[in-house]
Structure 1
Amino acid sequence: MRDARPASTTQPKLLPSYRNALRTAHYSPRTEAAYSGWVRRFVRFHQLRHPLELGEREVAAYLTHLATEGRVSASTQQQALSALLFLYREVLRRPLGNLGAVLRARAPARIPVVLTRAEVHRVLEELEGVYQLVAMLLYGAGLRLQEAITLRVKDIDFARGEITVRRGKGAKDRMTVLPDTVRAPLAAHLEEVNALHERDLAAGTGRVSLPDALARKFPRAAT
């Protein structure tokens, strides 16, 4: 067995690189935090050895440990696996091969809770303003939370009744429907924030600071 490396020579270099790779791939902050935690625990489980010294056998041993000793759920074990697959594929550039016989955590047989249409309406009625609008997009357009709050104006097509989701889960683009019930409140919201922006510009604020070269080349980009 190789000597364990001290944490100072592995984690300070490994984790920042890992987080940067996740951000480059447009993973959400919540996923970044969760995945980074799994990498940190994986390194600690193997006595602070650098992941480059480890491979399929050690990854399989850790995943089996999560199922047998940690008693995690199937979804939690899958998240740990996804975090480690990303580490080896995107950061270390050494994709994992066959993990062999990994003991899988049991997935409980649960019937999902599905709200009735009336219950959904009652939930939406308890919300106001932008919070209600976001909830309507989540329910009506099938958006994930991060997709809804980072939605851009140019990705909304009122004429076609479509929303383009850029780099959603798995860094993939997709099209979804713009529900009729969301059209009016969404248009009103866009009109309101545009008016607010115009007032800020008139007051001498509302502009974005740009490097001099970019400001000269794209004079309207700051607004």
Structure 2
Amino acid sequence: MKPRSPPLQSTCLLDQVRERIRYMHYSLSTEKTYLYWARFFVRWTGRGGNMRHPRDMGAQEVEAFLSMLATERRVSVSTHNQALSALLFLYREVLGIDLPWLEGINRPTQMKRIPSVLTKDEVAGLLAQMDGLAALIARLLYGTGMRLMEGMRLRIKDVDFDRRVIIVREAKGGKDRVVMLPQSLISALRSQMQVARSQWEIDRHAQRGGVEVPHALEMKYPHVGHTWGWFWRFPSPTLSIDPRSGVQRRHHLYEDRVQRALKKAVQLAGIVKPVSVQTLRHSFATHLLHSGTDIRTVQELLGHSDVSTTMIYTHVLKVEAGQTMSPLDSITGKQGMSALR
């Protein structure tokens, strides 16, 4: 039997969605996404002026909305699944409606695609075109296999120079994991720590709000967000308003800064493959497997819950290694050469 959530205090639908998301400790990005789809769904179904509450609608309206996304807006499979997840959350967790039709809605199948992977020379050429803090973060992501936001959210306490490990906190799926600390980055990360320390000292003397800490930790330890260990390893140069608490505080570096720098570096390096920050993670995994690292070790480093997810990189290796010879290459002698002429 599913545990019951406490009754909602808000009366506005979107406030109820927001309240339930925060009760379940979902991320801010998930909160924004689910609010977007709940608002879009209500407005689209009431586009003729007949605005109705979602509890007064059902399978017909949900299926029509999802069909519109697929046929008219031609959204991707991932976006389609995202919208469905948001609506399921709205009905099940917010409205408390768990009807049979919810189970009958099919999710579109996500196509299995081989990820874009760079060679070691391409990675070296790409990183050579980057400089400053963006270059350090890009090297860190490739050298550890971390996702972009995992790297941006690193705290001072999460990097252990003595053990040469990095602890990735609350990664995808809410899990922690440990990755290696590349020897070649130790000096740069120590220097960056001094930069962060200077920023922390400035904030402390100015009596600014401490950094955001997860869940209710700040209620139990009111000053934990002001401590050095919890400060961001890559702090933003500017202050911002926390959208949940309204407190002005320092956030971590905005991820778009690294994405823009990488996009520019790809052009300068003359790489024609599709490259994103995630490509560094794909290349990390593929290069480890190519060097003989056990697939279970790679699985743990990437934080995959199922080894079948990690297996996708073995397909890349098969192509790169050329383990299966083309029949064209088996044609030898004059007959084969004359055929090529």
Asked if TM exceeds 0.5, the reply is: yes
Correspondence 1:136-151 to 2 at 5 A = 136-151=139-154
2:33 alignment counterpart: 34
Paired with 2:181 and 2:103, the residues of 1 have a C-alpha distance of: 44
Q: Match of 1:178, as an amino acid?
A: M
Correspondence 1:195-206 to 2 at 5 A = 195-198=198-201, 200=202, 205-206=205-206
Is 2:82 the counterpart of 1:83? no
Say how many residue pairs are matched: 201
Paired with 2:52 and 2:66, the residues of 1 have a C-alpha distance of: 17
- Superposition RMSD on alpha carbons, in Å? 3.5
Deviates more, 1:75-84 or 1:106-115: 106-115
Paired with 2:96 and 2:178, the residues of 1 have a C-alpha distance of: 34
2:57 alignment counterpart: 54
2:133 alignment counterpart: 130
SS of the equivalent of 1:169 reads coil
Paired with 2:43 and 2:140, the residues of 1 have a C-alpha distance of: 41
Shift of 1:195: 4.1
Cα 1:221–1:101 change in 2 (3 A) is closer
**Which of 128, 151, 155 pairs up with 2:158?**
155
1:177 alignment counterpart: 179
Q: Match of 2:157, as an amino acid?
A: K
**Percent of paired sites with the same residue:** 40
TM-score normalised by L of structure 1:
0.70
Contact 1:56–1:96 under 8 Å retained in 2: no
Offset from partner CA, 1:48-67 (integer Å, 9 cap, x none): 32222234453333223322
2:207 alignment counterpart: 207
Shift of 1:189: 0.8
Contact 1:57–1:99 under 8 Å retained in 2: no
2:44 alignment counterpart: 45
Is 2:70 the counterpart of 1:71? no
Structure ranking higher on relative contact order (CA contacts 8 Å, 6+ apart): 2
Deviates more, 1:124-133 or 1:56-65: 56-65
Paired with 1:137 and 1:55, the residues of 2 have a C-alpha distance of: 47
Contact 1:167–1:173 under 8 Å retained in 2: yes
Query: Which 5+ residue runs of structure 2 have no aligned equivalent?
Result: 1-10, 211-217, 228-341
Paired with 2:38 and 2:171, the residues of 1 have a C-alpha distance of: 23
1:113 alignment counterpart: 116
Q: Which 4+ residue blocks in structure 1 deviate beyond 6 angstroms?
A: 217-221
Offset from partner CA, 1:19-68 (integer Å, 9 cap, x none): 45445624244x44433222222112322322222344533332233223
SS of the equivalent of 2:205 reads coil
TM-score normalised by L of structure 2:
0.49
Cα 1:220–1:176 change in 2 (3 A) is closer
Paired with 2:13 and 2:70, the residues of 1 have a C-alpha distance of: 26
Q: Match of 2:80, as an amino acid?
A: Q
Paired with 1:103 and 1:147, the residues of 2 have a C-alpha distance of: 28
Paired with 2:224 and 2:111, the residues of 1 have a C-alpha distance of: 55
SS of the equivalent of 1:177 reads strand
Contact 2:166–2:181 under 8 Å retained in 1: no
Cα 1:119–1:197 change in 2 (3 A) is same
Cα 1:99–1:218 change in 2 (3 A) is closer
Contact 1:141–1:177 under 8 Å retained in 2: yes
Q: Match of 2:136, as an amino acid?
A: L
Offset from partner CA, 1:82-113 (integer Å, 9 cap, x none): 22233334433445654425473x75675432
Deviates more, 1:49-58 or 1:71-80: 49-58
Query: Which 5+ residue runs of structure 1 have no aligned equivalent?
Result: 1-11
Offset from partner CA, 1:160-186 (integer Å, 9 cap, x none): 33333333334x022131331333321
SS of the equivalent of 1:114 reads coil
Is 2:16 the counterpart of 1:13? no
